Each structure stands twice: as C-alpha cells, then as structure tokens.
Amino acid sequence: MRELIRHVGSTHNLVVFEAAARLASFSKAAEELGLTQPAVSQAVRRLESAIGTRLFQRSHRAIALTDSGDRLYADVVDGFSRILATARQIRRSARREHATLLVSTAFATWWMVPRLAEFRTRHPQVDLRLETRDKDVDIAAEATTLAVRRGTGEWPGYQSALITPERITAVASPKLLAAHPRLSDVGALLSLPLIHLDEPHRYRPGWTEYFNHFGGKFRDDGDGLRLNDYALVLQAAMAGEGVAIGWQHICERPIEQGLLAQAGPGTWDTGQGFYLVWSGTTPLAENAQLVRDWIAATPALSATDP
C-alpha cells in the first residue's frame, strides 16, 4: 500500500481521475463528486506528478486521455469494479438478505435436499443457500446465518435448537446382508469388511466406540476402507463394499428407498444430538428465522411415514 501511495499520491486522486476520465470533463467530475473544478484539476495534477507523466491532453474546451491515461483508466475501472462487487456482496451478507445454512455433504444430500421442495412450497420468498464444509466454523466470521453441529447444544456465543438426537446403528447394502445371515449378533459384524469415517477436523464416533457400546471386542489396526466424507461412506456401503456406521437421521431415507438396511444388534443413543446453531449476539433476520423454525419443526421420516 505504501508503494501505491508513493506512485499515485493518494487514493483520492484515483477517484477524481476516474470521474474526470469517464465524464471527459473536470467540471462534470467536480459536480458529481461535490468538489470545485480547481480541486479536481489539482488532484489530477498531483496524480500526474506522482506518476511522472501526463494523463490528459488539455484544450480550451475539452480534455482527452493520453495513451498512459487510457492504460491507467482501464486498470482503475477494473479495480473499482471489483471493489464494488465485493462491497455489495458483503453488504448483502451483513443485511442477511438470504439465509445460509452450513452443513455436511451427507446432511445436505440425504436430509436437506429431499426436504427442499416442501420448504420452497411453504416459504417461496426465502432465498436459502446451502454450503457444505468438513469442519465446524465461526458462523459470524464466515458470514453464515445457520449451521448444523453435533454436541450437547451448549456452545458459548451461540443459540441452538435440537434437530435430532444422535442415534447410531450399523448399515450395509441389502444384498450384502442377504448373503450374511445372523448379523444381528455384534460379533458377526467383524466377519465383514468395515467402512471407516476418518474426518480430519471434527470428532465422530467410530467402530471402536460402537463395539464398546454393544460389548464386542474390536481393535482398530488401521485396516479397512477409510473415507473422510460421510456421503462417500454411505455410497461405499450402498455399493456393497462393507458395513458402515449409520446415523439414523441421515440413513433413514436411503433405508426407506431400499439402498441400505440396518445390521447389528440395535440402535445406540449416544446422548449427543445434532443441533441447528446461530449467533447468540446478532439477531436473525426474518428469512433466517423462517428457516430455523422450519428445520426445528421438521420431524424425522420415521415419525411421519407409515
């Protein structure tokens, strides 16, 4: 920035130069900017002095850009246009003209997207945008309105609403389960390949915790198919690659569609939950409130489907 100031004298000079070049008139530039005509002339002269070349050809009644002035004008217009576009985006985010929901890929694919049609029907005026991330982020810093997090519902600086308790089972393709009977026994699961979720940025219970809960003996030695995105884990399970940990709120739809089936001894209620969270210090705009209230009131498929 210091070097830029050394070459142009002041960013104010660039603003004055852009107006004078665009309007081809120092007088019209002065009127647009709320300056006097001599002030515009002085700003242009300071810019020319700092750069070391003339930017305008001056005549008694008109001004015209020199070749150097034309080159500078093109870059100034491009730079100002980029700044304006970014400022508009930030302003829209700050005013919360749209509601942004930050979720995992699996939640977006199997929970949110199948319900979007119902949401659009109920709230057609709301501009809801989904963003997927592989880690929990600071909502305010990311200009995000709402997010889904796993936990107890208590996060400093946030408010939250429970979407669903965390309930875990084992899932696999129906074809794989048909070929291996007696998989209601936790020990029998060890005879099948296990698909592991290795998320790098946030904790999720894995096979070690699952087997400990159901009294099975399991040691994770690093073998097996390991994927860092839960949507990929489910795709692998549907393809018959093995058995996966199944979060009930994500797996209920593929189970309903016959893409997955439940295995193992039952369902583990971990005592944690998946929550919708939002800033505890910045009030939600009306559109974001509608999204929050709709998600919080949306039941699981198992609670509504026959």
Reference 220, options 188, 186, 195; nearest CA is: 195
Reference 107, options 131, 127, 124, 143; nearest CA is: 131
Give the Cβ contact number of residue 209 at 10 Å.
15
Can you tell me whether residue 138 is helix, strand or coil? coil
Averaged pLDDT for residues 128-145 = 79
| Measured distance CA(145)–CA(96) in Å, rounded | 8
Q: Output the CA–CA distances (angstroms, integers) from residue 164 to 106, 138, 168, 191, 298, in the order listed.
A: 15, 22, 12, 31, 10
Averaged pLDDT for residues 131-158 = 84
Reference 179, options 167, 169, 188, 170; nearest CA is: 188
- The CATH number of the structural domain formed by 2-95 is 1.10.10.10
Which two structure tokens, joined as six digits, stand for 81? 């246009």
Higher pLDDT, 302 or 273: 273
Query: What's the pTM?
Result: 0.66
Q: What's the CATH architecture for 97-306? A: 3-Layer(aba) Sandwich (3.40)
| Measured distance CA(296)–CA(277) in Å, rounded | 11
pLDDT digits (tens, 9 = 90+) for 197-216: 998 888 899 999 999 999 88
Averaged pLDDT for residues 87-100 = 68
- In angstroms, what is the C-alpha Rg of the chain? 30
30-34, 89-93, 251-255, 271-275: lowest mean pLDDT where? 89-93
Q: What angle do CA 261, 263, 269 make, to 5 degrees?
A: 105
Which two structure tokens, joined as six digits, stand for 286? 């009306």
What pLDDT is recorded for position 186? 83
Domain residue spans in the chain?
A: 2-95, 97-306
| Residue 251: burial class (beta carbons within 10 Å; 0-12, 13-18, 19+) | buried
pLDDT digits (tens, 9 = 90+) for 28-67: 999 999 999 999 999 999 999 999 999 999 987 789 999 9
Q: Output the CA–CA distances (angstroms, integers) from residue 256 to 174, 176, 246, in the order listed.
A: 12, 17, 14
H-helix or E-strand spanning residue 130: strand 128-132
